[in-house]
Structure 1
Amino acid sequence: MIATEPSLDRATVARYAVGSLGTGGFATLPGLVLVYYLTNTLGVPALAAGAVVVVAKVWDVVIDPVIGARSDRMLAARGSRRPAMVLGAAALPVFFLLTFLVPPGTPWVVAALWVLVAFVLTATAFSLFQVPYIALPAELAAGYDERTRLLTWRVVVLTFAILLFGAGGPALRSLGGGSTFGGYALMALVAAVVIGAGMLVSSTVAPRGLPAGALPPRESALVTLRANYAAGVRVLRESRPFRALLSAFLLQGLATGMMLAGANYVATWVLHSEDAVTLLFLALIAPALVVTPLWGVVARRVGKERGFRIASALFALAALSMIGLLWAPGAWLYLPVAVAGAAYAGMQSLPMAMLPDVISHDARSGGGDRAGTFGGMWTAGETTGMALGTAAFALALAITGYVERSADPSVVVAGATQPGSAVAGIVVAFSVIPAAIVALSLVPLARYRLRREDIDGLV
């Protein structure tokens, strides 16, 4: 179902946008603190901590195309994607809280398994909401600029959510006792309530559809699984714009995933203040909140794809400049972080506004209503990028000799200090490597060929 309405009312825009409180919170807080929680509170070695995150995200990648195809099936049968969104929004807060409730003194192997199971369940609940959520813009808004408006305000809320959870999460952790059981429990409880509330409110923007019982008979699980993956592979094969856009976004997710995972380590071991991560996020997101609507103006004047390239290049340059932390760590870091934040706003809002164009172009070119399948593949690609970024950062820690710690006083603390090689590894994995990956993402982006006339000519 592709939207044909000429404009969106403000209530629809607002309800859709508020869902990014949930998506931004879930994307930001685990990426920021989960590996740090494992290595610096539970005493899990860096490689094992990275493996926990990767396995959970691999599961996410496995189920996203399935959820996407099932969402399309539900839309065709009932006229609504809402049931899965509501289920995900209700379940996620419970599992999110459990992820950070590992009892003090738990052996690190058991602690890692606890976090793995809880986080896999959290990721499953998130996908139930996120995949249909991403599919909705093509059904809510018609036209090149109207979708830009809808997605711009979504990214404004997303940016606010990144600030709220990126700065507020560590602040709540400190209020609850720092990197201890109480600190993480308080942080997770508050975050779970806010994430769940945002997702539930946003679920109301999806149409209610037909009464229950309208679905056709179920096929076998194996047949359904094969059909869902075939649908995902088909959209990748048949839509060149989607392949180009998703490849660029996946690479950028890898880069930002590395930087997100590294922020706590930079604060602790480079700036020598665990609380400095709050200032890093303030420096990153405050400019983004101001600049996000301006990227919408840029898109209208020069095109979304050109604006996306400009934002990516600016981010890469800002990240590269942070290599100076090797020789002169200090408060100057907040300036390039602010530039990166302004660029990141464009790197989020513009591809998100381009995705509904891809979906609409596919539907009107004979592909049919496959928005959920596109959404599933998009979420899988984004998740893959962020997971690989977290894993790559954990690998850098292990290679450069990072020493894990435990917050349990009964456990001997081996990592009161870190070797110089580990500190250097943190800086390089926070600056040079992400900059190179973002620069590489411009290669597939150059193959994205959809322009305004290709989209508005179809409406």
Structure 2
Amino acid sequence: MNTRASTAPRLSLWQVLAYGAPGLPLALMGIPLYVYLPPFYANELGLGLAAVGTALMLTRLWDVITDPVVGYLSDRIPGRHRRKWLMGAGMPLLIVSLWFLLRPDDDVGLWHLYLWGLAAFLGWTLIQLPYTSLGAEADPTPHGRTRLAAGREGLALVGTVLAAALPILLGSEAPADVLTAVFWLMAILLPAGFFVMAASTPEPAIHRPLVDWRHGWPLLKHNRRLRGLLGGYFLNNLANGIPAALFLMFVADRLGAQNWLGWLLLLYFGAGIAALPAWTAIARRIGKRRAWGASILLAAISFSFAPWLGSGDVAWFALICAVSGLSLGADMALPASIQADIAGIDSDEGGGDRAGLFFGLLGLATKLALAVAVGVGFGLLSLAGFEAGDSDTTALAVTYGALPVVFKLAAAWLVFRQLTDTESHLRGTTP
């Protein structure tokens, strides 16, 4: 029996929402950095698309090193509020880096993009990893972790929707205008969200003994739950990343509906927000693993119709966006909650305090999946001889719609067959 879990008070709805507050501004970076930043530097600043793509890829490759290191350090820092102190240290680094990255002078070079991009992603990691680790500790019960993850990811979805809607709200699709708006929103909302979270979210003062990393990695290697989670998470994110990378081309070249881009994105992420409370309730009823697996299958089934769509089929594609978007809430909330449970189980079984390291591995799986998704998606289209604007979009339809279904089915198999329930182990700790 985990004494702390059995006596911990249930966090109020306000505390859950306060914990999730930084998730909104952090999510604002996603769409603008991947959709608007590359063409802005490549075209408007004249640095070239290939060079800009290489520079941005290199900045993300550093995450392979920084994510596990930051996760490990967030476990090692002594004293109370260790997670919050690390987040506070990353916040000014991120904001200053975004000032130079998103609002550059006209004569900047490639090194400007690379170095400030590297600094911005490091600042983001210093915030994000301790932030998700805190969600595993603030409420030690399985359902409490799900509520915190849902609060964080629900507000992150709101931030993502806001980012997708910026061109509509600004009345301009110019990359410079969108990136400037992102900076000011980050500069205002991130400190505000951090202080609300820090003031309202409890961080336990007593931690379990830390485990030296040389003893930790062999234990991770033999952790079946962790292997099942990371495998399913990687494949599922790979399946999500391929259509994300090809979304603009599919809508413009396959459907001929470029004017609907913003609204389709809003529909997809809006469905994810609307479904998030339902997935939380379903997870409590049938278990997180089964709920997540069901959401993956739902997305696979709905997406299997995408390759058959053609020019003018906007309404049918909108339906696919809505149905597959329903699974987004589960994708964002449940794996993080399962990872928090696994960290708690590992700690109960003598693994020590390694929540930061565990969430570092989860973040690493995400970033590797997205990097592979871009390479696979664009690589296959290149091998097929497809270029943007081509009239024959068969290769685009298959790569965009069929390939993700294969990875989704593989992810569902891992979740149902290799990942074991976490609630059964922790049921005795639930108040």
TM-score range, shorter chain: 0.7 to 0.9
Q: In the alignment, is the contact (CA less than 8 A) between 1:50 and 1:391 conserved in 2?
A: no
Q: Does 1:18 align with 2:17?
A: no
SS where residue 346 of structure 1 aligns?
helix
The equivalent of 2:302 in structure 1 is 318
Of 370, 377, 397, the residue aligned with 1:386 is 370
In structure 2, C-alpha distance between the alignment counterparts of 1:319 and 1:38, rounded to whole Å = 33
Shift, 1:83, TM fit: 1.5
SS where residue 60 of structure 2 aligns?
helix
SS where residue 420 of structure 1 aligns?
coil
The equivalent of 1:147 in structure 2 is 145
Of 164, 168, 173, the residue aligned with 1:171 is 168
Q: In the alignment, is the contact (CA less than 8 A) between 2:25 and 2:186 conserved in 1?
A: no
Shift, 1:152, TM fit: 2.1
Q: In the alignment, is the contact (CA less than 8 A) between 2:32 and 2:182 conserved in 1?
A: no
TM-score scaled to structure 1, two decimals? 0.81
Shift, 1:277, TM fit: 2.2
SS where residue 28 of structure 2 aligns?
helix
The equivalent of 1:285 in structure 2 is 269
Q: Does 1:345 align with 2:345?
A: no
The equivalent of 2:209 in structure 1 is none
Give structure 1 stretches of 5+ with no counterpart.
Answer: 211-226, 404-416
The equivalent of 1:373 in structure 2 is 357
The equivalent of 2:411 in structure 1 is 441
Shift, 1:136, TM fit: 1.0
In structure 1, C-alpha distance between the alignment counterparts of 2:196 and 2:252, rounded to whole Å = 37
Opposite residue 83 of structure 2, the aligned amino acid is R
SS where residue 455 of structure 1 aligns?
helix
In structure 2, C-alpha distance between the alignment counterparts of 1:44 and 1:402, rounded to whole Å = 24
Shift, 1:85, TM fit: 0.3
Opposite residue 91 of structure 1, the aligned amino acid is L
Q: In the alignment, is the contact (CA less than 8 A) between 1:86 and 1:200 conserved in 2?
A: no
The equivalent of 1:219 in structure 2 is none
SS where residue 421 of structure 2 aligns?
coil
Of 96, 104, 120, the residue aligned with 1:94 is 96
Opposite residue 154 of structure 2, the aligned amino acid is V
Residues 335-355 of structure 1: CA deviation (Å, up to 9, x unaligned) = 000001101111222112211
SS where residue 81 of structure 1 aligns?
helix
In structure 1, C-alpha distance between the alignment counterparts of 2:100 and 2:378, rounded to whole Å = 23
Task: Please give the residue correspondences for 1:215-234 in structure 2 after superposition, counting only pairs within 5 Å.
Answer: 230=214, 233-234=217-218
Q: Does 1:453 align with 2:419?
A: no
Q: In the alignment, is the contact (CA less than 8 A) between 1:46 and 1:394 conserved in 2?
A: no
Residues 272-306 of structure 1: CA deviation (Å, up to 9, x unaligned) = 45552211122102222221111111112211101
The equivalent of 1:202 in structure 2 is 197
SS where residue 29 of structure 2 aligns?
helix
Shift, 1:29, TM fit: 3.4
Opposite residue 442 of structure 1, the aligned amino acid is A
Structure-2 change in CA distance of 1:298 and 1:66 (3 Å) = same
In structure 2, C-alpha distance between the alignment counterparts of 1:432 and 1:36, rounded to whole Å = 28
Structure-2 change in CA distance of 1:200 and 1:424 (3 Å) = farther
In structure 2, C-alpha distance between the alignment counterparts of 1:159 and 1:440, rounded to whole Å = 26
Structure-2 change in CA distance of 1:12 and 1:329 (3 Å) = same
Opposite residue 151 of structure 1, the aligned amino acid is A
The equivalent of 2:401 in structure 1 is 431
Structure-2 change in CA distance of 1:19 and 1:244 (3 Å) = same
In structure 1, C-alpha distance between the alignment counterparts of 2:276 and 2:378, rounded to whole Å = 31
Of 252, 255, 278, the residue aligned with 2:236 is 252
Residues 227-284 of structure 1: CA deviation (Å, up to 9, x unaligned) = 75x4763453142211211221122222222222333333443454555221112210
Q: In the alignment, is the contact (CA less than 8 A) between 1:82 and 1:204 conserved in 2?
A: no
The equivalent of 2:69 in structure 1 is 66
The equivalent of 1:54 in structure 2 is 57
Opposite residue 362 of structure 2, the aligned amino acid is W
Opposite residue 420 of structure 1, the aligned amino acid is S
Shift, 1:100, TM fit: 3.2
Opposite residue 308 of structure 2, the aligned amino acid is G
Structure-2 change in CA distance of 1:67 and 1:294 (3 Å) = same
In structure 2, C-alpha distance between the alignment counterparts of 1:22 and 1:254, rounded to whole Å = 24
Q: In the alignment, is the contact (CA less than 8 A) between 1:171 and 1:275 conserved in 2?
A: no
TM-score scaled to structure 2, two decimals? 0.85
In structure 2, C-alpha distance between the alignment counterparts of 1:32 and 1:203, rounded to whole Å = 32
The equivalent of 1:240 in structure 2 is 224
In structure 2, C-alpha distance between the alignment counterparts of 1:398 and 1:117, rounded to whole Å = 29
Give structure 2 stretches of 5+ with no counterpart.
Answer: 206-211
In structure 1, C-alpha distance between the alignment counterparts of 2:313 and 2:347, rounded to whole Å = 51
Shift, 1:187, TM fit: 4.4
Opposite residue 420 of structure 2, the aligned amino acid is R
The equivalent of 1:216 in structure 2 is none
Opposite residue 171 of structure 1, the aligned amino acid is I
In structure 2, C-alpha distance between the alignment counterparts of 1:97 and 1:272, rounded to whole Å = 36
Structure-2 change in CA distance of 1:458 and 1:209 (3 Å) = closer
Structure-2 change in CA distance of 1:43 and 1:262 (3 Å) = farther
Task: Please give the residue correspondences for 1:110-189 in structure 2 after superposition, counting only pairs within 5 Å.
Answer: 110-111=109-110, 113-168=111-166, 170-171=167-168, 175-176=171-172, 178-189=173-184
The equivalent of 2:208 in structure 1 is none
Percent of residue pairs identical = 24
In structure 2, C-alpha distance between the alignment counterparts of 1:235 and 1:374, rounded to whole Å = 12
Q: Does 1:9 align with 2:9?
A: no
Q: Does 1:418 align with 2:418?
A: no
Shift, 1:127, TM fit: 0.4
The number of equivalent residue pairs is 420
Shift, 1:198, TM fit: 3.2
Q: In the alignment, is the contact (CA less than 8 A) between 1:167 and 1:277 conserved in 2?
A: no
Residues 292-328 of structure 1: CA deviation (Å, up to 9, x unaligned) = 1111111122111011110001111222221123465
Of 16, 30, 33, the residue aligned with 2:33 is 30
Q: In the alignment, is the contact (CA less than 8 A) between 1:50 and 1:395 conserved in 2?
A: no
Shift, 1:146, TM fit: 2.0
